[in-house]
Amino acid sequence: MLNSLSGRLSDIMKKMRGWGSLNENNIREGLRDIKLALLEADVNYKVVKEFIDGATEEALGEKVLRSVTPAQQFTKIVHDYLVSILGGTVHELEIGSGGISSIMLCGLQGSGKTTTAVKLARFVERSHNKKPLLVAADIYRPAAVEQLKMLGEKNGYYTFSLEKNSPVKICTEAVKYARENSYGAVIIDTAGRLEMDDEMMRELEALKKAVRLHEILLVADAATGQAAVKIAQGFDEMIGITGLILSRMDSDARGGAALSMSYITGKHIKFIGVGEKVDDFEQFHPERIAGRILDLGDIVTLVEKVQTDFDLEKARKLEKKIQKDTFDLSDFLDQLKQLQKMGPLENLLEMMPGIPKKTPLKFDERELKRAEAIIYSMTPYERAHYKMINGSRRKRIALGSGTTVYDVNRLLSNFDQMKKLMKRFRRGGPQRGNALQSLMRGF
């Protein structure tokens, strides 16, 4: 997320920390570099001016210049102003504890509304304990209804649709259906156009009048740059949106425009999409995002993700197995599955402070799939006694998993190395850091 901007700002802050003491000249130099980094990342020039003016005034104050740790004070000022332009505080989804909550998603064609509808359904179900009903109100785009049904069914959600009916009729009937079948939330996927037009807006206004909506959320593609800001302003002026969802925040292309949206429109960003999977969806926390951009990490979100996606009971059992040195390939397979549930590995590393942003953090998910296939091709005995896997067994495993004997050998060799490293971790000692580096290289 915003890796190029994060890398630039991280370098600037490190350079300033290296100065030891700050004065008016180097503060202005640092802020000039920050200004260029923000503009190059496509942050709106009005937002950049407000940011730099405010930060300059505060950074040149006596509190910073006379501070024992001026560089840390300056970092805090930059962080606080980033939080401010991102919206200040987290803004929760407006959804009641009782009754049916109706949420309408709107936006231009290709912004990711349909996928976002399913992601939002998962969030509502998990965070608000409400059974979500998806509503296919896009009757114009070819296969739009089928796409929502397919995505919904794949993730366990029912999609309400009516053939040869108007969007208003579909939505009013959907609310009745939800009430009769004990649904707690209705999520409406509306039609988009290649550009805003009167016909689309009239339809959205009619839906707004026909259904009591708790939220009208605009889904905007973060990669479209300043156009996304203008789109948000246009929708708000015509129908009155209540919040924003930024899709494709995992793309670095022109993503800095996202930093401008809340400030320019006055509407809060409520969620961001950070990948293609249904779980790659986060509630927007300005303070946490600012921390990621400045390479300060986002441990809170990382911990929340681990608590949500990891089976804690399995984790306790795994810890005991590691202590007793009985960790086998079946346990390793289980860990691979849980790791994949948490989303792309580069997204997880991005939340950890101190991870360099200069080199793109890209992992080949196919490697994990290949390791999975190899272990599935083994018998339970072989998983528990990997050292007994001889040449003929390795050929059979490679054939069954669609891989090569070399792939099987590499997996077994890496697993053997990992077992040895686990013993070093249990013993502790000065080699633990080197052991961890070796483990990361091996996998």
Hey, what domains does the chain have and what are their CATH numbers?
Answer: 3-85 (1.20.120.140), 101-284 (3.40.50.300), 304-442 (1.10.260.30)
Over the stretch 152-175, which tens digit does the pLDDT of each residue have?
Answer: 999 999 999 998 899 999 999 999
Q: What is the pLDDT of residues 382-418, one digit of tens each?
A: 999 999 999 999 999 999 999 999 999 999 988 888 8
SS3 428: coil
Q: Average pLDDT over the chain, rounded to whole?
A: 81
d(CA 172, CA 134) in angstroms, rounded, equals: 13
Give the residues across from 122 on adjacent strands: none
Q: Determine the pLDDT at residue 429.
A: 46
* Distances in whole angstroms, Cα of residue 229 to Cα of each of 65, 132, 244, 261, 282: 37, 29, 11, 5, 20
Place of tokens 């049916």: 100
How crowded is residue 40: how many other Cβ atoms within 10 Å of its Cβ? 12
Rg (CA), the chain: 25
Number of H helices, E strands in the chain: 21, 8
SS3 category, 315:
helix
pTM for the full predicted model: 0.68
pLDDT in tens, 117-138: 999 999 999 999 999 999 999 9
Tell me the per-residue pLDDT of 178-194, one tens digit each, with 9 for 90 and over: 999 999 999 999 998 87
pLDDT for 347: 58
* Cβ neighbours for 255, distance < 8 A, ≥ 6 positions apart: 1, 2, 5, 41, 42, 222, 223, 249
Does the structure show a pLDDT above 80 at 312?
Answer: no
**C-alpha dist (Å) from residue 354 to 187, 339, 351:** 39, 21, 9
Question: Range with the lowest mean pLDDT among 109-118, 145-154, 366-375?
Answer: 366-375
Nearest C-alpha neighbor of 220 from the set 240, 200, 243, 202? 243
pLDDT of residue 62: 61
The tokens for 429 are 């000692």
Residues 71-90: what's their mean pLDDT? 83
Compute the distance between CA of residue 211 and CA of residue 313 in angstroms, rounded to an integer: 44
Pair 20, 69: CB distance under 8 Å: no
**8 Å CB contact between 289 and 84:** no
Give CA–CA dist 341/335, Å, rounded. Answer: 10
The residue length of the chain stands at: 443
d(CA 244, CA 265): 10
